[in-house]
Amino acid sequence: MALHGRSAIITGANQGLGLAIAHRFVESGANVLLVARGAEQLHQAEVELKRYARPGQIVVSQTGDVSRPDDCQTIVSRALATLPNMTILVNNAGVYGPIGRIEENDWEEWVQAIRINLFGTVLMCRAILPHLRERGYGKIINLSGGGATSPLPRFSSYAASKAAVVRFTETLAEEVRENQIDVNAIAPGPLNTRLLDQVLEAGPERTGRAFYERSIKQREEGGAPLDKGAALAAFLASDVSDGISGRLLSAVWDNWTELPARQKQLDKSDIYTLRRIVPEDRGQKWQCA
């Protein structure tokens, strides 16, 4: 019950990781507003999660497209009108976008992926921030992923948008630090969700042979557990993580449960952030031009 009495907006919450996060939040005592574009599947998710809610716990849903500013304002207004102690935003909604060589991608599909993955994250933050600043407290959790920290050929819009989400996370964290609002990003690991299905449907000609074969292996081995990402999201939404901000954390590889005990070290370092690697970082001494 680490989130008892807190309320959260969770986007992309009708399936996959978003639904797993919502499930974890409800089990942890939070009130939740589930957000997604698909109304029927969203309603099913609401009905399912209400089975796990305790007396007095609120589970509601709101259809919306996070790439549209008006929808984001409507989502936040619904949350503030419906849920008490509204302090948490989870920006999970995302798409792969077009798969294939950049010059062969449909341009509108490429741009739309940026709108959903990056602009959707920014727009939801813009909509909720006046409320969180007024409260003097809040938790914003952004979903990053593959391509944010290494190249992801043939998934250029996805990789570019997810890298941008991480830099936006770090930047926003500094903007709102004085307001006691923590902003972090999660890398959930390779998940066996609808995005994996898209890769397999696209085939090796569009995705690239090596990536396609890794995806087949991932499907066979099960991928990263959804509950790992959900557990990290719940940790970052709780008061246990207060003060931890501006970080990109791997749900699978980072020992994030120890971060509260290491917070002083973390505050003085660039651990779990994006940065440029210079020759000295690799033991090289190259002269400047």
Note whether residue 215 is domain-resident: no
CA separation (Å) from 132 to 36, 86, 183, 196? 22, 8, 12, 35
Give the N- to C-terminal CA distance of the chain in Å, as an integer.
57
User: CA-to-CA distance for 27 and 47, rounded, in angstroms?
Assistant: 15
Q: Which DSSP symbol is given to 243?
A: T
pLDDT at 194 over 70: no
| Contact between 217 and 280 (Cβ < 8 Å) | no
Pairing of the two strands 86-91 and 31-36: unpaired
Assigned domain for 196 exists: no
- Residue 211 resides in a domain: no
Domain annotation covers residue 195 = no
pLDDT above 80 (res 210):
no
- In the chain, the number of structural domains is 1
User: What's the chain's average pLDDT?
Assistant: 92
Q: How confident is the model at residue 219 (pLDDT cuts 50, 70, 90)?
A: confident
State how far the Cα of 278 lies from the Cα of 289, in Å rounded to an integer: 14
Mean of pLDDT values over 195-219: 75
Kindly report the CA angle at 236 between 233 and 241, in degrees rounded to 5? Answer: 155
| Whether 145 contacts 162, CB under 8 Å | yes
- Does the structure show a pLDDT above 90 at 101? yes
| 218 assigned to some structural domain | no
CA separation for the pair 133, 278 (Å, rounded): 37
- C-alpha 134/C-alpha 9 separation (Å) is 18
Report how far residue 251's alpha carbon sits from residue 241's, in angstroms, rounded to the nearest whole number: 15
Q: Which of 96, 158, 212, 272 is catalytic?
A: 158
For residues 210 and 78, give the distance between their C-alpha atoms in angstroms, rounded to a whole number. 45
- What would the mean pLDDT of 192-198 be, rounded to a whole number? 68
Residue range 171-188: average pLDDT? 97
26-45 mean pLDDT: 97
Nearest to 118 by CA among 158, 79, 156: 158
**Cβ-contact 133, 125 below 8 angstroms:** no
Is 119 part of a structural domain of the chain? Answer: yes
Structural contact between residues 35 and 12, judged by C-beta atoms closer than 8 angstroms = yes
CA distance 237 to 161: 23
For residue 191, pLDDT beyond 70: no
Percent pLDDT > 70 in the chain is 96
Q: Region 163-167: what's the mean pLDDT?
A: 97
CATH number of the domain bearing residue 75 = 3.40.50.720
In a domain, 229, yes or no: yes
- Which tokens belong to 17? 């990781």
* pLDDT confidence bin for 192, thresholds 50/70/90: low
Enter the pTM of the model.
0.93
Is 96 annotated in the active site? Answer: no
In a domain, 198, yes or no: no
CA angle 211, 217, 221 (to 5 degrees): 140
* Domain of residue 77, residue span: 7-189+224-282
